[in-house]
Structure 1
Amino acid sequence: MVQRKGVGNFYLRGTVRGKGIFESTGTSDPEAAETLRIQTEARLLNQSIFGRQSTITFLEATEAFVAAGGSARFLFELNADGQPKGLAVHLRGRLLHTIKQSDIDKLAGQLYPTAGPKTRLRQLYAPFRAVWNHAARQGWAEVRTWEVPKAKLKGTNTPSGSSRRVGNAPTSYEHAAAFVTAMSPAPSMVMTALFFTGMRPIELIALEADDVDVAKRWLVIRRSKTGEPRGVPIHDFLAPMFESLCKRGGKVFRTHKGEPYPILENAGGQLNSAIAGARRRSGIKDISPYTARHTVSTQLVVNGVHPYVKDQILGHAVADMSRRYTNVPQQPLIDAINGIAVPEIWANVEWLAAPLVWSGKLVNSQEARRDRKRS
């Protein structure tokens, strides 16, 4: 069953009780490959007798999760020399039902010994839970609550001993309006949408017109940061903008040249030149794309919105039941987002009359020409 392909890794190839298999062992060591062959044959035999839940590995669950539309980031990726890396590689061969909380905690310490709780949550616990929850929905694992590192509560503004990076704190909507209205129309529309949805920048940049239902005040994010889809309410203030921009189809938000913004891991970096120009023109230095998310979260708290509703809007909710209704508009969420007041200067922004027409224009100043040269 073990087969060598070229001078690289060994492969497993053959049939066990009618089930064919052809996959890399991930090793060029013949003894390690033979051990994996024995384990794989035993697992496939047990699966044919006892069922999927007793034999599925974390790697298989990961492959199924990604095939269903989940993100492979931090789970299974290839490094520069083509070798696999990620959580699924470290848990290669582990049966899903044998993984315990202590195993994940130990792995977090090994892979991220100096990282803070936010990093461990983003790069290990969140992707692991996304795979596990997908497997549970398929009946391959039991429904389970996993403990995760405690990070700073979302929407709070607790001072810390370290210096803050721009964007890590909320601001007032009046302050934000003065900054955003100093931008050219295209980036101004992106920032406006961020401040009245609470979406992550990368989610907004990747948004497709087909996933926006203006009439129902609802949009769908197919792939969120956690790999799970979610629904987002549309503020009434944003409706004319979305209706106009969605007419061209494809990506909703584009540059002034009509090109989609690149999907970057450093989400928000696509607006660097526009942000720099707005800072020079407005004199405001403490706003970045992520300021919007913190501001929405804080304003919802101030407005007395129930924490569960707030978490649903921002995509913090982990309840599987809520994800089943991704495409179904939820009135409590729509009411909550509409509770955010719109400053007069924002409500009267010039491009709001015809967003699609204005999206190709630049602000009328020498600074705009300088920004264009920098971008």
Structure 2
Amino acid sequence: MKTIFPTFGSPTKHRDYQEAIRRMLPHFRNLTFHQITGQELYKFTETLKWKTGPNKGKPLSRARKVNILIPFRAIWNDACDHYRWVIKNPCDGIHKKLPKTEKKERLALRFRDWQLFLESLEEHYRPIAELMILTGMIVSEMAALTKDSIQGDYLKLTSSYVLKNEKSSLKTAFRKRDIYITDAIRKRLDILVARAATPYLVTSARGSRLHSTDFAKVWKKAVDKAGIAPMTSYTARHTFAAWALTIGVNPLRLVKLMGHASKQMVYEVYGNYVEGLEEDAVAILDYFGRDFIEPRKKKNPALYGYSTGHSQGIVKPNYLIPLSY
């Protein structure tokens, strides 16, 4: 804690390591490294339970346990390197011992559920939530937006705001991206600009910068009031991807819009969310706007699968076009 911890630049890493070490010390404080075996480490993982919230007292998920073991592995490796110890790492094979937990399926919202949610959300936060689902941005990216982020036809994402700390970097280098400002996005940005009393665009109802914990409470309150299935604000990002695919956006373009390094996430994760949304396609397209799938610099209908219905003011997503078209 005295030598390594101060070198961490990420506030998230500070928080995660502190929590993990607080959990580890009671169990391992009086054990020598020789006494810490794989079986002893497994016994420790069996004691890991939720301390607060609705799951209080229940075992942590496999993923949470693995994350807590990350600092343990780092401490072990550093100690072995420093003292030139040649002893078996108890972390070896621990993943095979941990019980598998069923992953929760992250489904995209149906359009009607999104409308019910917005109607139940406090008015101040509606343009914020809408900007999230129209762009795929997350709370930390939104909180870092300033008036200077709006540059002509593009919204430039270059930083994030995590745990009340400004970060000049995003989750990955690919998350730094330029988002084309459609008419729908511009409408929400205009609201945020008009009411911004500081350089920051996205604020709480009190005027302070948006904070993920406070926003999560506001979000949950609206979900409960709307009577829809439980979801977090991150659902808006998944829904953005699913809706984009539903109205025929090229998956390779979606990779850039989402700020991913490759198309793997789009094909293997978000692609699963499209099923069942087909009947919402027209409403989604109207909500996003035609300029979302047809950027001004790319007006070739062949690229986006437009049907002859375009001349009648109707645009069909490319999955609705007959194969013989």
TM-score (norm 2): 0.46
More helix by share: 2
TM-score (norm 1): 0.41
